[in-house]
Amino acid sequence: TQLLEQSPQFLSIQEGENLTVYCNSSSVFSSLQWYRQEPGEGPVLLVTVVTGGEVKKLKRLTFQFGDARKDSSLHITAAQPGDTGLYLCAGTPGSNYQLIWGAGTKLIIKP
Amino acid sequence: NAGVMQNPRHLVRRRGQEARLRCSPMKGHSHVYWYRQLPEEGLKFMVYLQKENIIDESGMPKERFSAEFPKEGPSILRIQQVVRGDSAAYFCASSRGTAQGKLFFGSGTQLSVL
């Protein structure tokens, strides 16, 4: 069974601090996605990483796909209250259309 | 350019009643996925449909649950004889082709079974 483990499960920090959240697996994924979900809403796709070692930046968010394509990280610089939400990673195991989802990291940024 | 539309947003049912959840995909999208989410958890795949076809229903309970995506109209997730354990948020997502991550989600239906 392929699993994606996200850590930490919960993170509460002050505005302006930096943070990193992780998405780890023992399995290889052909691609991995990061989503942000706000309460009462569906997840919104932030980024898709495909190549081992790939780094993508989205303003203050930096996403990295591990060299072996088994793990990924999301780093946020100078976090803002608007970054508050549930961050979910989801991986595609090969050419299968199904996404394997992590349980998410609940992030709270305090003003 | 409307996104994925789900209705109702909130649905309250008593045990034993039927729940019907609707999902209209984004314009031009012919692939629909249904997910279930419990509080503080990730999404659990239920079923994947294309127009008039169920492609994969491996995540959907064999009993009481059914899904359809007719040629005309929205996709429907139907839960018969609901039980308290069915209470959850049900999300629909659509894509133009097979997912590979390019999924667009609706705002979900929160089902509460009394």
B93 touches A: beta carbon within 8 Å: yes
The pLDDT, as a whole number, for residue A1 is 59
Asked whether residue B82 carries a pLDDT value surpassing 90, the answer given is: yes
List pLDDT tens digits, range A75-101. 999 999 999 999 999 998 766 667 888
Provide mean pLDDT across the span B11-33: 95
Q: Which residues of A touch B (CB under 8 A)?
A: 6, 31-33, 40-45, 48, 88, 90, 92, 97-99, 101-104, 106
CA distance A108 to chain B (A): 14
- For residue B99, the chain A residues in CB contact (below 8 A) are 92, 97-99
B47: nearest CA partner in chain A? A98
In angstroms, what CA-CA distances link B8 with B3, B53, B65, B89, B111? 15, 24, 18, 11, 9
Rounded Cα–Cα distance for residues B46 and A69 (Å):
26
pLDDT at B66 over 60: yes
> What percent of chain A has pLDDT above 70?
95
Average pLDDT over residues B69-97: 94
Tokens standing for residue A108: 């709270």
Span B14-43, average pLDDT:
92
B102 confidence band (pLDDT: 50, 70, 90) = confident
Residue A3 has a pLDDT of: 83
Whether residues B99 and A31 touch (CB distance < 8 A) is answered with: no
Segments of chain A scoring below 50 in pLDDT? none
pLDDT over 60 at B101, yes or no: no
Residue B28, pLDDT score = 87
A103 and B48 within 8 Å at the Cβ level: the answer is no
Helix (H, G, I), strand (E, B) or coil at B22: strand
> Is residue B100 predicted with pLDDT exceeding 90?
no
